[in-house]
Structure 1
Amino acid sequence: MAEASFTNQGTLIAGARAARLDGRPSEAWRLLGLAKDVGNASGMPAILMIEAELFHDAGRVEAAADRLHRLLDHVPDHC
C-alpha cells in the first residue's frame, strides 16, 4: 500500500478487508490500527466489523461478540 494512502481512512479500511480476505490477518490489524489513528467516527462501524471478523477467524468468539456489541453503539436507532 502506498504511503499516500495511509492518510485516507477509507483506503486503509478497504486494505484491511482485502488483507483479511487474502488470509493476512497481521496486515489487516496493522491497517486497522492506522485507520483508527487517521480517521474519524464515521469509519468505526467498518473497523469494528472487520475486527469482529478477524477475531472470529482466529476462534476468539467472545472478543468477536464484544466488537459486535460495540458496533451496536454506532448503529442509528430508528424506533
Structure 2
Amino acid sequence: MDSDLPVVNLRLWRADAVVLFDWLMTTDLNTVPITHPAQKQALADVLSRFEWAADVDVTGSTAEEITAAQEELAKDMGW
C-alpha cells in the first residue's frame, strides 16, 4: 500500500468482519461483477487488511464461529 495515500479507519462489528473475511477467502474475485478493475483491487485490499490487522483476529475463525456470525447478521435483516 502506498504510504502517501490517505487512510480511512473503518469500525466493523466482529460478525461483519468474520463474514466478510470468509466470503473474500472463498470467492473467486475474477467472477465478481465489477465495472472497473479498481473494485476488484479494493476487495483484495480489504482481504489483506483483515490478514494484517493485529486487533482483528478473524483469520482463524472456526466453521462454528462463521456460522454464528452469519446467523447474527442475518437475523434482523428484514429483506
TM-score (norm: length of structure 1):
0.32
**Structure showing greater Rg:** 2
TM-score (norm: length of structure 2):
0.32
Higher relative contact order (CA 8 A, sep 6+): 2
